Structure 1
Amino acid sequence: MSSFTPKVGDHIYYGCGTHAHHGIYCGDFMYKERTFKDVVIHCEGKAKGGRIKGLSYTKFAAGHDVKLVKYAPGACFDTETVVKRAISRLGEYGYDLLDNNCEHFATWCKTGKHKSEQVEHGVAVGAGAPLAGAAVAGSLGVVSGVGAAAGLSGAGIMSGLATVGGVVGGGAVAGVGALGALPALATTGMMYNVLNDDESLPQDERDARSAGRVATTAGAVGGSALALGAIAGAGTAGVSAAGITSGLAAIGGTVGGGMAAGVGLTVAAPAVAAAALGFGVYKAWQWLSE
């Protein structure tokens, strides 16, 4: 059982691996002429028949590390109102994982907002990650099809990169950067949604998210620069045709492939850097703020 001691009206939760379970600690109260003690009101997470019910804090916390959801000053109802809102929905059915889950309920009790960050983050990642992956995969199709020499031979790749780079006023190396832009944008959008600002959050959390968003953008830009630098330095030095060809082949060789694999890795690099740096800075800021 967690050593955490909640206060009446607290929005509490514990981790369940891939998700978290939320509730409102209501302490002792009267309901339908019965006295209930040390109660957490929560929404059962059942696909069918899930309802809002009371559970002793001992049972709620058993085997879990219970934590407090923190809010900004003035962002929540007063304690009495929070408890009344929770009690008013006891026995209510209608659990829905995406639209009416335990976090929706607890957040509504505290702020009046029907909101679940778990769902919002899941939707953002579910949309952004496949889009970024599809953009990386699609880049190979673009490279193989747009140049004078078709296919993913060395000549085909260089021709395709030069054609793409020409659209932005550059050559083959500019083509690599241009192809990396879409997956980087998709990942940046995903991270901005996950690290979205919310006035109801404590200032420390808002600052951590802001730092994470800035770092995400820096990662996308820096990842592109690093990818281009890797191409120039991995094979025959420089960004001549020979340098790019050998650089992409050397990078692709790290995963057992050739130039085509090198294109995929370098195009993906800005997206990976954006996610890694953004999330890393966010977690580091949280840790330093504790």
Structure 2
Amino acid sequence: MRKGDHIYFNCGGYTHHGIDCGDGTVIHYTKNQRNISRISWDSFASGKTVFVREYGSCDFPDVVIQRAESRLGENIYDLFGNNCEHFATWCKTGIHASEQVKNAGATTGGASVSGAAVAGSIGVVSAAGAAAGLSGAGIMSGLATVGGLVGGGAVAGIGALGMAPATITTLAMNSVLEDNENLTSEEREARAVGRTMTTVGAAAGTAGAVGAVAAAGSVAGLSAAGITSGLAAVGATVGGGMAAGVAITVAAPAVAAAAVGYGAYCFWKWISE
């Protein structure tokens, strides 16, 4: 560890951050008293493994320490707006930011809105077709109507309905993996790969969902009978019927976008080490 390092340790579902003063002490926002104080290294670490957050661009150690010392005694801690990570990042860069808060907001908000979009798609299917409701005929006519809006049929309807949750998830992942000039070149490259693969994952999820419908049913293929039996078979995997199958296939691109994007990011970081 070096003077002015941004250090942190894992606490299970979150991380705690501070600034190494280089003299055996650490300045941080205390977890219990909620004020900025200087404590010994051992007291800060509390027996845990301490890591250094690497930066591609940051201020000189003396500036970092000066900033940290200028706020000693502050007691306006706020979990979402002024926590220990906000403080340590500001000391290093002059930018008040928390990756934990940003990522939690993006993932929670993205999951909520994406889930609402999936639920809303069932309502659209139920209401859009010539045969209303969620009977087999109602679902098929609803999908055909939605698909007709993009120049296709029921299969296109599945893809069109999946666009909203996939787009929302992609935006959320792009926020989590957004570029930042203060990051190391390796981290920035891994995030760029993750953002690209999120989009690839969304497309792959759509293709995979359609392929699953075509292959899963008692009638193979993408005829009306094939789609009907395929959606029923997909829905049966969670104890439901065709409506559940629609929900799963509509959600698949969003799930794939998040899984492929984040997986690619982690893999790229791993091979870059």
Give the TM-score of the pair, scaled to structure 2.
Answer: 0.97
**1:276 aligned to 259, 262, 265, which one?**
259
**1:16 aligned to 11, 20, 31, which one?**
11
Q: CA deviation at 1:7?
A: 1.0
* Residue identity opposite 1:40 in structure 2: V
C-alpha distance after superposition, 1:189-208 (max 9, x if no partner): 01000000000000000011
Q: CA deviation at 1:96?
A: 0.8
Q: CA deviation at 1:147?
A: 0.7
SS in 2 for 1:54: strand
* Residue identity opposite 2:8 in structure 1: Y
C-alpha distance after superposition, 1:236-257 (max 9, x if no partner): 1211111100111111111111
Q: CA deviation at 1:63?
A: 2.7
1:95-114 matches, cutoff 5 A: 95-114=77-96
C-alpha distance after superposition, 1:26-82 (max 9, x if no partner): 033xxxxxxxxx100001235xx621001111111123121110001xx21111111
Aligned length: 272
- Equivalent residue number for residue 231 of structure 1: 213
**2:225 aligned to 220, 242, 246, which one?**
242
1:196 aligns with 2:191: no
1:137 aligns with 2:119: yes
Distance 2:97 2:150 in 1: 42
* Residue identity opposite 2:2 in structure 1: K
- Equivalent residue number for residue 77 of structure 1: 59
Between 81-90 and 182-191, the greater mean CA deviation after superposition: 81-90
- Equivalent residue number for residue 35 of structure 2: 51
Aligned-residue CA RMSD (Å): 1.0
Distance 1:63 1:134 in 2: 43
1:157 aligns with 2:152: no
SS in 2 for 1:27: coil
Q: Any conservation in 2 of the 1:44–1:95 contact (CA below 8 Å)?
A: no
SS in 1 for 2:174: helix
The share of aligned pairs that are identical, in percent, is 62
SS in 1 for 2:19: strand
Which structure 1 residue ranges, 4+ long, deviate > 2 Å from structure 2? none
Distance 2:47 2:237 in 1: 44
Q: Which runs of 5+ in 1 are unaligned?
A: 1-5, 29-37
